Every structure is written in C-alpha cells, then in structure tokens.
Amino acid sequence: MTQRKRQLSLSVFVQLYGTHAKAWRRPDVKAGGKPDFNEWLKIVKTLERGKFDFAFFADFVGSGGDNVDAVSRRARGGSFEPTALVAALAHATEKIGLVATVNTNFDQPFNLARRLASLDHLTNGRLGWNVVSSLSDGAAKSFGADGLDHEGRYVRAGEFIDVSKQLWDSWDDDAFDHVYKDTGVFAEGASAHPVHYHGEHFEVDAILDIARPIQGYPVIFQAGNSDRGREFAAQHAEVIYAAAQTLEEAQAYYADVKSRLAKYGREPEDLVVTPGLYYFIGKTREEAQEKYQSFLNAVDFSERTFFQHLDPASYALDDTLPENLPEPLNGVGRWRQMVALARRENLTIRELILRFGTVQGHKIIVGTATDIADQIEHWFLNYAADGFNLKPALVPEDLDAFVDEVVPLLQQRGIFRKDYEGDTLRENLGLKRPLNQHQLQSKRSKAA
C-alpha cells in the first residue's frame, strides 16, 4: 500500500456571526430570533464548496443562573445542541466531516456511544467527536455535578473513551449482513462481544443496540495544550486542536505531541495537529489591517473570559500581570502560555488582552489572500501544523473570501485537495480505520 502524500487539513470553528467581538451588532446582520438551521447550513455548504475536511461545532454547555447580565450579553441563543445539529446536517451535505463536541462529565458511555454510532451511520461515516472534559462553574451548577480536579477529569474522560470503543466493538463489522430467516437467528452469537467493564468511574455490562460505526469509531478530537492534555492526545486523539502564536512555538508543540505517540503503539501520522488560526483578509494589506483594528476596537475589557475566569475589572488595565496568580481548573496549558507571554514581553493587562485574550492564544494573519496562503504553506511545510482550524472574523464575508481567494492558491501550490478523495472523514484526513479489537486479538493469536 503506497503512503498517502501529506496534505493540508482545513476546517472551521463554526460560529454563527463569526469571531469578531461584536459581529452580531453590525447593522447589516440579522441577529436574534429563534434558532435557524438554514443559517448554519449555509456556512457548512460554503465549507463543503471549499473542500474543507470538517466543520467543528463547539459546545460551551451550561450557564449558571447567578449572572443573568453576563449571559444576556452573549450571542448564543441561535445555537443548537451539537449532536442534534449534526443529525440535521447529515442529509443536507455529502462529503464534509461534521464534528460534535460532547462533554464526558455530563453523559454516560452507553448513551453517548449509541448516539454517536447512530450519527456515524446517518452521516455515512463523516462524524467526529470532540472530547471535552472541562468543568466550568456554570456547567457544574447547570448539571449539579460534583467537581473533579484537572487530573480526575482526564482519568474519567479516558475511561469514557475506552468504554465507548468497547461498546462500538460489541458487534463485528458484518454482524448484521446475513440474517437467517429459516432458523430465526438475526445475528450469529459469535459476532457479539458483550462488554463487561468495571472501572473507577463506570460500570457497564451490555451489548450496543446498533451496528458498529461505518468508520469503526468516530474520529476522536481533543484540545490539549497542557502537558496532561498532550499526553491524553497521544493516547486517545486523532485530531488535536491547539494554540500557538509563533512558528517556533508551534514546531515545538508539534514535535512534542508527535513524539509521545510511540509509547501507545501509534505512528506520527495517526494524529493530525490543527492549530487555531484567526485571519483578517483584504484586497490590500491596508484593508486587512483596518478590519483587524476594528476587531480590536470592539474589545470589551470587562469580559471575564479573557483571563480564564479572573475578572480584569479587579486589576488596573495598564499594570502588568500580578505575581503569584492561581492557575485555573480549566485550560491550564493555555493559561501558562498567556502568563509566559506576559512575563516575556512585559505586557500590560490591556496589551495582553489584545495580544492573547481576544484570540485565545491563536496565531493571527492580517493581509491579502497571498499573504495568508504564504504563511499557511510555511507552517505546513516546516512541520508546525498538519492543518488549521480557521476562525473567520466575520461570517459569511470572510469565509467566502477564504474559499474563493485563498483555497485556489493552496490548490495551485499542490498542498490542498481539489476534490474530496474519500467518502468518510477518516479517509479524507488520511487516518486508518480501526479494526474491531476482538478481531485484532484473534489475528494476533493466530499469528503467534
């Protein structure tokens, strides 16, 4: 089997109005009202037209009821629960991958494994699962969840994935391909592999009541910047969403996380590294800079989210970051990046918010289509990324501009597809389809 040529992966962190701080407030934007599926479909259709690998749907689940003013200022009323949205998009799209975020703290493996297997069949093998284990105050209050520490949440998430895979493997791939009407046997008993899992967090004795997913398992996604997050990704993830602002920082991250795979019997190509990318595109560099400046001018310095739940209002904006700040329970890796940048460049809190907080630590490119294509190509060819998860400032205009102006340049340079090569998300990402672990063990036993 010939090795697949390394190919750039492109995806979008889909937000209804874009990532501009106040995109929904523009006079030409239709904002508010009930959730409108067609608005989401338009965005995903644009991505499919651009031959993107996948559309990524985040889920910041749970808002505490003790700060209605803060909640009322967020443009979130038009969002759908991600797995429901993916189900609706399944038959309105053909090739693009659809990635749903589901938090392992607020579900059970059997319930979720069943739902995700269903979605993988409904999408004809285009499903991805973004595994999240964060536990914000709002989410904890919404679900009445007991708090787990940083390590505890990773342990639970790892168990959750292990149980889910066992459930997906509880039937052979061809278990339901041959039914026996004369004997009344719908599936041979030898095709079933009951799960008997008794772990620290879960107790499961079951067989999944749906056929094995088309992809074997949905593609596993994860965001991980901390050391623990990187190790978790090396063990479980197939696509990792990361943050880096410089080439050197990205190269170090890329090399580190890829080097951890071997201890889990995995190859470097088994994990696709996709840093986030903010871009501001213009016909000229001056026009792009004006767009970026408008983004910065719209920053609300009272937003708590810039500092991982530390309130900037408690500090003077033109002072430097105080010493001995406590680390947050969530986003430790991103937090450490931010603090390191502040210390290294002696930034004020205001400067730090503008440089880091507004873009969550991601790279920013401001320029023409050629400028953007040049930097994407440079990072890709120099092993700082396998692809990028784009965060367009304004939707639909900046997304349309990327598809119409940047994608053709990347295609001309031979690093991005002109059409989808495969039918499943795994195939288009160049990822192997996992064998059923029971069949794998049988093969190993025979070989021995």
Answer whether residue 53 is part of any domain.
yes
| Residue 62, token pair as written in the block | 């749970």
174-221 pLDDT per residue, tens: 999 989 999 999 988 899 999 999 999 999 999 999 999 999 999 999
Domain count across the chain: 1
Kindly tell me if the per-residue pLDDT of 343 is higher than 90: no
Answer whether residue 301 is part of any domain.
no
Q: What is the pLDDT of residue 41?
A: 97
Q: What is the pLDDT of residue 297?
A: 85
Answer whether residue 317 is part of any domain.
no
pLDDT band at 433 (very low <50, low <70, confident <90, very high): very high
Cβ atoms of 135 and 107 closer than 8 Å: no
**Range 337-362 average pLDDT:** 77
389-417 pLDDT per residue, tens: 999 989 999 999 999 999 999 999 999 99
**Range 123-133 average pLDDT:** 96
Residue 396: domain span: 9-294+363-447
Cβ atoms of 171 and 211 closer than 8 Å: yes
Q: Rounded to a whole number, what is the distance in angstroms from the first to the last CA of the chain?
A: 24
- Write down the residue that tokens 């190269």 correspond to: 251
**Distance (Å, rounded) from C-alpha 223 to C-alpha 197?**
27
The CATH number of residue 79's host domain is: 3.20.20.30
**Distance (Å, rounded) from C-alpha 33 to C-alpha 143?**
26
Q: What is the pLDDT of residue 276?
A: 94
Q: What is the pLDDT of residue 344?
A: 80
Kindly tell me if the per-residue pLDDT of 280 is higher than 80: yes
**Range 305-330 average pLDDT:** 68
Kindly tell me if the per-residue pLDDT of 2 is higher than 60: no
Q: What is the pLDDT of residue 1?
A: 41
Q: What is the pLDDT of residue 133?
A: 83
Answer whether residue 230 is part of any domain.
yes
Cβ atoms of 170 and 193 closer than 8 Å: yes
How many alpha carbons lie under 13 Å from residue 27 in its C-beta half-sphere?
0
Kindly tell me if the per-residue pLDDT of 334 is higher than 80: no
Q: Lowest mean pLDDT of 1-15, 56-70, 97-111, 372-386, name the range.
A: 56-70
Answer whether residue 300 is part of any domain.
no
**Distance (Å, rounded) from C-alpha 254 to C-alpha 259?**
8
Q: What is the pTM of this model?
A: 0.90
Residues of the chain above pLDDT 70, percent:
85
Answer whether residue 356 is part of any domain.
no
Least Cα distance to 216 among 144, 152, 264, 168 occurs for: 168
54-94 pLDDT per residue, tens: 999 988 776 655 667 666 666 666 789 999 999 999 999 99
Kindly tell me if the per-residue pLDDT of 359 is higher than 90: no
pLDDT band at 333 (very low <50, low <70, confident <90, very high): low
**Distance (Å, rounded) from C-alpha 160 to C-alpha 162?**
6
Kindly tell me if the per-residue pLDDT of 138 is higher than 90: no
Q: Lowest mean pLDDT of 113-122, 250-259, 293-302, 377-386, name the range.
A: 293-302
Q: What is the pLDDT of residue 402?
A: 98
Kindly tell me if the per-residue pLDDT of 301 is higher than 80: no
Q: Lowest mean pLDDT of 76-85, 307-316, 425-434, name the range.
A: 307-316
Answer whether residue 401 is part of any domain.
yes
Q: Which residue has the higher pLDDT, 331 or 435?
A: 435
> In 290-323, which positions are buried (b, 16+ CB within 10 angstroms) versus exposed (e)?
ebbeebeeebeeebeebbbebebeebeeeeebee
* Coil, helix or strand at residue 196: strand
Q: Which residue has the higher pLDDT, 5 or 399?
A: 399
Answer whether residue 348 is part of any domain.
no
140-175 pLDDT per residue, tens: 666 666 666 778 889 999 999 999 999 999 999 999
Least Cα distance to 362 among 223, 242, 280 occurs for: 242
6-38 pLDDT per residue, tens: 999 999 999 988 887 678 888 888 888 889 999
pLDDT band at 274 (very low <50, low <70, confident <90, very high): very high
Q: What is the pLDDT of residue 380?
A: 98
**Range 123-138 average pLDDT:** 86
CA distances to 123, 138, 241 from 119, rounded to whole Å, are 6, 28, 22
